Amino acid sequence: MERRAKILEIVRGISKRDANPAPDQSLFESGIVDSFALPDMVAALEREFSISIPDSDLMPRKFETIERIEAYIQGRL
Amino acid sequence: MAWIKAFGSYLPQRVVPNAELEALAGVEPGWIVKASGIEERRFAADGETVVDLALRAAQDCLAAAEMEPSQLGMLILASGSAERQFPGPAASLAHRLGLSSAPALDLPVASAGSLIAMSLASRLADAHGHILVVGAEIVSRVVLRPPVDRDTVILFGDGAGACLISPDAGLARILDYVLYTDGSFADSLRLDYRQPLAMDGRTVILQAARKIPRAIQELLKRNSRSASEVQSFILHQANLNLILKVAQALQVSESKFCATVRRHGNTSSASMLLAAAECWRDEALQPGLPVVFGAFGAGFHWGALLALPA
C-alpha cells in the first residue's frame, strides 16, 4: 500500500469516521482528529512506519494535514 | 527521604456548573463534559486572594497532622496566579500563620508546582524539619479576562491543596522522584503580564500524553516497581481525558486514578494536592503498596513522585 493510503487508513482508524480529507485539509479544523486522538495518531504512525518521533517534533502543525504527515514521515525514513 | 505526614484542602464556596460557562464560551450543552470530563468547578469570591485560599488549606493540613504552625521549619507555596509580582504569596502566608522567621519560598510554577515543591521538600526536610507545601490558585480571574477563550475558560477552577512533608514518620514514605523541564515549549502555555491565559491545547496534550507516562515508567523502573503494583495514581487534574490517556499508556485500570477534576476543574498547581487530600481520605490505601504522584504543566515542567504508605 502506498504511503499516503496507509496514512489515510490510520487517520480513519483513529477518527473512527470514514473521512476522506483532501491532502491539504486540516485534520483538526475539520474535526477529523481531535486533541485527544492526536497522540494516538502519532503513536500509530510510529508503529506503521517503524519510526521514532522525538518529543521536539511533537508539534501539531507537523501532523495537521495528510501531505504534512507524508512529508514528515518521508524525512524520518 | 522524608515522609508525607498529612494533606489539607480548601475549595471556595461558589460552585460554577458547566451551564454557566457554556453560554460564555459559546458552546453547546454537554460540550464541556465531552471535552474535559469537568462537570463543575469553584470560583473564588470577589476579594478572596490566593493567600486566603492557601491559609485555609494550610490550616486544614496542620489540623490533620495535629501540629501547630510554630512547628514548621519551612514553607513552600506554589502558585501561577498570585496577585502581584513580588513579594510572592509565601511570605504573606507565613505571616498569616504566625511565622516570623521560618523561610517561606515561592514557587511560581503553574500546574506542576506542587509536585516540584513536594520533591524539593523531601530533600530539605532533614535540614529544615517539617515543611508545609501549599498549592493555591485563583485561575478564574485569569481565564475570565477578555477576550475570553473557549478552550481555557471551561477548564479552570480555584482552590488550594496542602501537604506536610516531615523528616520522621507519617502517612507514607517518599521513596524517589523525577523532575524535568523543557523550555522549548514555554510559549505553548503561558500567562503574560495583564494578559489572558494563552494555551496551545493540542501541543500541551500531545506532549503531556507522552511525557507523563514516560516519567512514571522511568521512576518505577529505577525503583524496581511496575505500574501494575501501584495502588493509586494521584496526578495533576488537568483534564479527565488526559488522565485516561495516561492510564491507557501505562496499561493500568482507570479506577486506580484519583479523578477529582470532574468537580474541581483544573486548579493548576493546587489540583494534585486537592486530589490527594480527597483520595487519601476516601480510599482505603494499603500499607506497602506504592502510590504515584505526577504532574505536567507550563514550562513545560513535569515529573513524578513515588511514595509508600506506612
What residues does each domain of chain B span? Answer: 3-166, 172-309
User: Average pLDDT for residues A31-58, to the nearest whole number?
Assistant: 95
The DSSP code for B266 is B
Alpha-carbon gap, residue B141 to B156, rounded angstroms = 10
Q: Which residue of B has its CA nearest to A57?
A: B207
Alpha-carbon gap, residue B194 to B111, rounded angstroms = 19
Confidence of residue A59 (pLDDT cuts 50, 70, 90): very high
Q: Which residue of A has its CA nearest to B210?
A: A39
- Closest partner residue to A60 (CB to CB) among B206, B242, B245 is B206
Q: Where are the beta strands (DSSP E) in chain B?
A: 3-10, 14-17, 40-43, 72-78, 104-107, 130-138, 158-166, 172-181, 189-190, 198-199, 232-235, 291-297, 301-309
CA B199 to chain centre: 18
Cα–Cα distance list, B51 to B12, B22, B88 (Å): 13, 29, 9
Nearest to B155 by CA among B69, B301, B39, B274: B39
Averaged in consecutive runs of 10 residues, what is the pLDDT profile of chain B (310 residues)?
A: 96 97 92 95 97 98 97 98 96 98 97 98 97 98 91 96 95 97 97 92 97 98 97 97 97 97 98 96 87 98 97
What CATH number is attached to the domain comprising A27?
1.10.1200.10
B172-309, what's its fold?
Answer: Peroxisomal Thiolase; Chain A, domain 1 (3.40.47)
Q: B41 Cβ partners below 8 Å, 6+ apart? A: B15, B16, B140, B156, B157, B158, B263, B264, B265, B266, B267
Confidence of residue A57 (pLDDT cuts 50, 70, 90): very high
Strands B172-181 and B3-10, by their bridges, are antiparallel
As for how many domains chain A has, the answer is 1
The residue behind cell 516497581 is B225
Q: Which residues of B touch A38 (CB under 8 A)?
A: 202, 205-206
Instruction: Quote the percentage of chain A above a pLDDT of 70.
Output: 99
Same fold, B3-166 and B172-309: yes
Instruction: Quote the percentage of chain A above a pLDDT of 90.
Output: 83
- Give the distance from residue B254's alpha carbon to the nearest chain A alpha carbon, in angstroms: 16
Question: Does residue A34 have a pLDDT over 80?
Answer: yes
- Give the distance from residue A74's alpha carbon to the nearest chain B alpha carbon, in angstroms: 21
Specify the CATH class of B3-166 in words: alpha beta
The residue behind cell 506542576 is B112
pTM of the model: 0.96
User: Average pLDDT for residues A34-62, to the nearest whole number?
Assistant: 95
Q: How many CB atoms lie within 10 A of CB B234?
A: 30
> What's the domain range around A57?
3-76
pLDDT at residue B62, as a whole number: 98
Alpha-carbon gap, residue B259 to B254, rounded angstroms = 9
Spell out which chain A residues touch chain B, with contact meaning CB-CB distance below 8 angstroms. 28, 35-36, 38-39, 42, 55-56, 58-60
